[in-house]
Every structure is written in C-alpha cells, then in structure tokens.
A and B are shown apart, each in its own frame.
Chain A
Amino acid sequence: MRKASILSVALLCTYVTSFGQGGFMDDMNDSAATKKKEPVTATFKATRIINSSTVENLAHGVLDFRILHRFGRVSDGMENFFGIDNATTRIGLDYGVTRWLMVGIGHNTLGKTNDGFLKVKLLSQKAEGMPISLSYMAGMGLRGDKAPALPPGMDFLFTNRMGFVHQVLIARKFNSKLSLQLMPGVVHMNLVDSSKDDNTMFSVGVGGRYKVSRRVAITAEYYYRINNADMLAAGATTYNSLSVGADIETGGHVFQLFFTNSNGMTERVFINQTTDTWTKGHLHFGFNISRVFTVVRPKEFKKGAADKW
C-alpha cells in the first residue's frame, strides 16, 4: 500500500516535470494532418498521359468534359495540309463518383465507336511506406459503323461490335519531376479481321512524365504487344503505339499536345490497331482539352459551411 502510494507520487512528479520539454513550436507537430502518412499527390497532371489512363482520378464530384483530337498524318504534306484536313475526334465526359472510383463515356468519330470505362484506385503511393500507386481500369467499346465484309454464311451480330480492355496501372512518382507508369493489360475483340488472329491480345505499356518547369512537362508512352503483333487492321500492317508530347498548364487547364502514330483514342484501336509508324514519318499531331466542373462541392464549401465558424 505504502509502496504503491510512493510510486504514484513519483509518477505524478515525473509527469509534471516532463512537461515543457522541447521547443515551443516543436510539440505542435503531431497535428492530425501531419501525423497521418500523406499520400503522394500529382503523380501526373491529368487523368491521361496521352492516350493511356493514369493513376490520377478526378476528385469526388468533379465532371470533366474532354475533347480529344488527332489530326491526319503530318507526312501527307500540303495535300491534306499536313494532316489538318483529316482529323479523328473523341468527345467524352468523365466523372469522379468517389475518391477512388471514376467513370467515363465518350463517342469516337473513328469507327463511330461509343465507349465507356471505369477506373478504380486501389493503392496510393505514400511518402513513407507504400512505394507505388495502383489502379485498375476496365473499358468497353461499341463500334457503330457498317458491318465489314464477312465470309459467306456468317452473320454480323451485335456482339461483334464489342471490344473490351482491362489494364492494371502501376505508377510511381520518383521525385517532383519524374513519374513513370507501367500498364500491363489485355484487349479482347469479339470480332477480328482474320481467323489467324487471336481475339485476346496482351500488351504492356510504359509511360511517364518529366517536368521541365513548374507548368510544363514532357510526356511519352509506348505499348509493346505480346501476341498478335502481326495482325492486320483493315488489311494494313499494325505497329506498336508510341506517343511523345507535352503537358502545358495555363492556370485553370492542362493542355496536352503531342505527336503519335495512333489516330484512335480507345485502347482497342491505339494499342492493337495502329496502322502508322514513326519510321515512315506517319505521325499525327494531336491534343487533349479538358474542362472541369465541380458538380458536388467539398463539404467545406457546402452552403452555410462558411458561416459555421
């Protein structure tokens, strides 16, 4: 009993004297915000590198209206005004459903394709601990153009119009300038040009960005096709997709300008049906424009929240 009392007094004294150690500013450091391991932000400037999805999601309640443009071949010269005369376009809407789920729909002039996708953020790179960000992207495209010439006796079914893509996006922001992303994936087309071709095609993409200034980054992405690399698309040889460009941020927007040998903007087309090649100078100039709208305001900006304190 006595020992216990002495001990408790001793503990109390130790407790009292231990207070006030350290600098005046230092013991504020354990505030809720700094203590939790912060996720690394802005691995990429946008939700796309060039054609490929990035691990970046739209914030919850943000609607993104996107206009993507790929001009014709620069190598066409004056005849088609260096490609300006022949353009393919995708108009789309993306939406951030939650912090981790993003969905989008779009319409492509190429193949009159309607597409939709969803992207789920599974892992976030942290300053300490988790070294990578990881997302899963699944998409579907529905061609709307006329039925191709089919062997006699074969019907062009509605399902023949469909193509699917699944990708795992693994990214790491190495420092404030350099971010790289690895994109293993699979594309399945319900109908391919030739019976020799596989319907299911595996590929690995790599992409990245390097910031050259606070508002400009150089971007690039490349896809290596693991099988079916010799497939033809409408009778033409297909090549691996390579795109090189720049992200330019002008206050409220990110403009993406680039050269690519792909004129399609859905994975089925740019990964597996790219019929132009850099080696022959068959390049397309392209740009992505995005305009974001805040549909659901953050809780700090809900009506009346500002008056609360």
Chain B
Amino acid sequence: MDINSKTMKRIMLIACLLAGVGTATRAQVYMARTAHVSFNATAAGSPEKIEAVNNEVASKLDKATGRLGFQVPVKSFKFERALMQEHFNENYMESDKYPRAEFDGMVSNIADVNTNNDGTYNVKVSGKLTIHGVTKEVSVPGTVTVKRGQLVMSAKFNVRLADHKINVPSVVADKVAKEAVVTIESALNVVRK
C-alpha cells in the first residue's frame, strides 16, 4: 500500500462524511404525494350532499424553515355523483383554466415539533391560499402527529366561496353552502430518492 492510496482513502472518507452531512440536511424536507383533501359545501337543509374527496394531493414541508406547500389537482376531486363532479369542474372551479389549487405558507412554530419524539403537536399555519385563480391570505390552526419519523399533518378550516370568486347560481343556493368545510390530512415522509 503506497502513500497515494492512503491519501486517497482519507479523501474518500472525508467525501463520504460530507455526503453524509448533506444527507442529514436533506432529511429536513418532508413530502407526500397522496395527501387527502376533502370538502363539504352542503347547505343546511339541502336534500343532497355537496362533498368530494381528493387523494392525489402533493404536500411538502421544510422542517428547518417551516415552509409548507400543498398542491391540489382540482380535477382529481371525486364526487358521489358524476354529474356534480362535471359541474364542479366546468362551472364552479373552471378547472381547465385553473387546474390547481395551491397553498404556500409557513408553520410559524415549527421548532415546537420534535421529530424524534412521537406525539401530537399543535401548529399555526399561515400563508397564501390560491383557489380558482384567486389568492387569499389565510391563517389556520392544525396538528402535526409524529410517529416513527413520519409526520401526519391535519387541519380543518372554512373557505368562503365568494372569497375565491366561485359563483353559486341562485337556483342551487339552497344546496351549496356559502362556506366549504375543508379537511386536510397529509402523511409526510422524509424525502429519499
């Protein structure tokens, strides 16, 4: 074994350590591709339920900075009634024009969440919510449940349809509520490629 190969081994060791550090930093980013978003916009006394679920939502959390993002493909909302789903896309959300709903914001108290300690943490989330092409600042309380390295984020909040210029014609005003109750659940894992 000559001196060169010893040097090389050291270099490799340092390189690997550096790579390891890199990986550790990288582990701060959590993602989910099949997060769930559902909403209920049934008006009180409506004979039919106006509700839908979406299981193709992408979400991302940077644990270091607290930045949190959601991307919701609008056409992936599934309704019990196919016709309602079509009208939702065609007339209310105009999903050809606005294919995605988005949230881009921050978890203000992300430091409270200890990923090494299983349990449920209350968090405060605020940021920009874009639905139907209209962006609005929102602030929402939620929870993060840590379980064996996985973060499950949950939140429930109301979205006023008028805030996002979603028009409800008067003939269905007794069926579609003015506010939709939105439920989010996202099981995020450390990004690995």
Query: Which chain A residues have a beta carbon within 8 Å of chain B's beta carbons?
Result: 2, 5-6, 9, 12-13, 15-17, 19-20, 24-25, 27-29, 31-34, 38, 41-42, 58-59, 62, 96, 176, 214-215, 249-252, 292, 294, 297-298, 300-301, 306, 309
Specify which of B22, B53, B56, B193 is in contact with A33 (CB 8 Å cutoff).
B56
B96-104, B118-126, B140-148: which lies at the A interface?
A: B96-104
Whether, in the assembled complex, B16 has its beta carbon less than 8 Å from a beta carbon of chain A, the answer is yes
Residues 79-124 of B contacting A (Cβ, < 8 Å): 79-87, 89-91, 96-97, 99-100, 102, 104
Query: Given that A31-B73, A33-B56, A298-B80 are contacting pairs, would A250 and B15 also be in contact in the complex, using a CB cutoff of 8 Å?
Result: no
Which of B16, B29, B81, B175 has the most chain A CB atoms closer than 10 A to its own CB? Answer: B81
B8 within 8 A of A: yes
- Decide: B60 and A28 in contact? CB cutoff 8 A: yes
Looking at B73, B83, B96, B102, which has the most chain A CB atoms within 10 Å of its CB? B83
Interchain Cβ contacts under 8 Å between A and B, 25 examples: A16-B22, A24-B67, A25-B60, A25-B69, A27-B60, A28-B31, A28-B58, A31-B33, A31-B56, A31-B57, A31-B71, A32-B56, A33-B75, A33-B76, A34-B73, A58-B82, A62-B81, A62-B82, A214-B90, A251-B87, A252-B83, A252-B84, A252-B172, A298-B78, A301-B80
Asked if B69 and A24 make an inter-chain contact with CB atoms under 8 angstroms apart, the answer reads yes
A300 B96 Cβ-Cβ under 8 A:
no
B148-183: CB near A (< 8 Å → 1, else 0) gives 000000000000000000000101100100000000
B12 at the A/B interface (Cβ < 8 Å)? yes
> What separation, in Å, do the CA atoms of A31 and B76 have in the docked complex?
11
CB distance from A210 to the nearest CB of B (A): 15
B91 touches A24 (CB 8 A): no
**Contact call B71/A250, Cβ cutoff below 8 A:** no
Chain B residue contacts of A215, Cβ below 8 A: 91, 169
SS of A interface (majority)? mixed
- Bound-state CA distance A96–B45 (Å) is 30
A252 and B16 CA atoms in complex are apart in Å by 62
CB contacts (< 8 Å) of B58 on chain A: these are 28-29, 31
Closest 6 CB pairs of A and B: A59-B82, A251-B172, A16-B22, A33-B73, A33-B56, A28-B58
Question: Which residues of chain A are within 8 angstroms of B82 by Cβ–Cβ distance?
Answer: 58-59, 62, 96, 292, 294, 298
A13 to B5, CA, bound (A): 20
Are B87 and A249 in contact, CB atoms less than 8 angstroms apart? yes
A13 touches B89 (CB 8 A): no
**Separation in Å of the B154 CB from the closest CB of chain A?**
10
Chain A residue with Cβ nearest B69: A25
Residues of B within 8 A of A20 (CB): 26, 29
Q: How far is the CB of A30 from chain B (nearest CB, A)?
A: 8
Task: Report how far A252 CA is from B48 CA in the complex, Å.
Answer: 10
Query: Which A residues lie within 8 Å of B80 (CB)?
Result: 294, 297-298, 301
Contact B55 A300 (CB under 8 A): yes
Q: 9 new A-B pairs (CB below 8 Å) besides A9-B16, A249-B87, A297-B80?
A: A12-B19, A24-B104, A28-B71, A31-B73, A38-B75, A58-B82, A252-B172, A300-B78, A301-B53
Q: Report how far A96 CA is from B86 CA in the complex, Å.
A: 15
What is the minimal beta-carbon distance from A16 to any residue of chain B, in angstroms? 4
- Complex Cα distance A9/B19, Å? 9
Contact A294 B81 (CB under 8 A): yes
Inter-chain CA distance A300–B8, complex, in Å, is: 57
B63 at the interface (CB under 8 A from A): no
Contacts of A25 in B (CB 8 A): 60, 69, 71, 102, 104
Contact A12:B100 (CB < 8 A) given known A28-B31, A38-B75: no
Q: Within 8 Å CB of B78, what residues of A?
A: 298, 300-301
Q: Are A29 and B71 in contact (CB under 8 A)?
A: yes
Q: How far is the CB of A41 from chain B (nearest CB, A)?
A: 7
Residue A2 contacts which of B8, B33, B79 (CB distance < 8 angstroms)? B8
Specify which of B171, B185, B193 is in contact with A251 (CB 8 Å cutoff).
B171
CB < 8 Å: which of A24, A251, A292 contacts B60? A24
Of all chain B residues, the one with the shortest Cβ separation from A211 is B90
Given the complex, which residues of A lie within 8 Å of B132, measured CB to CB? none
Q: How far is the CB of A202 from chain B (nearest CB, A)?
A: 34
In Å, the complex CA distance between A170 and B82 comes to: 23
Shortest CB distance B68–A (Å): 9
Please give the distance in Å from A250's CB to the nearest CB on chain B: 5
B76 A292 Cβ-Cβ under 8 A? no
